[in-house]
Amino acid sequence: MPKKIHTRVKRKKGQKGTHLRKRYLFTTRPAKKGARTFNTEEQAHAWATAHGMKKDDYTLVRVKNFMKFQIQQKTVRVSKLQP
């Protein structure tokens, strides 16, 4: 009979048969990135103009207990009923 393998080694090698195998330890899904926030309005406007946004295309929203600014793009609603 072969020697038993320690649980940590099983997890490292990806072998089955351990009661401690958790799904969240082996997920390969990339983590979500949060929205970009800025300390000042000037920084937010500078970033938006550097990325080709006009002042009519976005609004600034106060987030994180009103300590930072976030750029929120305005969406254009298109009616499905075209004349």
Work out the number of other CB atoms within 10 angstroms of the CB of residue 38: 18
Give residue 74's pLDDT band: very low, low, confident or very high (50, 70, 90).
confident
The whole model's pTM is what? Answer: 0.55
Residue 2 lies in a domain: no
What is the tens place of the pLDDT at every residue in 21-67?
A: 566 666 677 778 888 999 999 999 999 999 999 999 999 999 999 99
Residue 80 lies in a domain: no
3 state SS of 82: coil
Beta strands across the sheet bearing 58-63: 37-38, 68-73, 58-63
Q: How many domains does the chain have?
A: 1
Q: What range does the domain containing 55 cover?
A: 7-73
pLDDT of residue 18: 56
10 in Cβ contact with 22 (< 8 Å): no
Residue 83 lies in a domain: no
Residue 81 lies in a domain: no
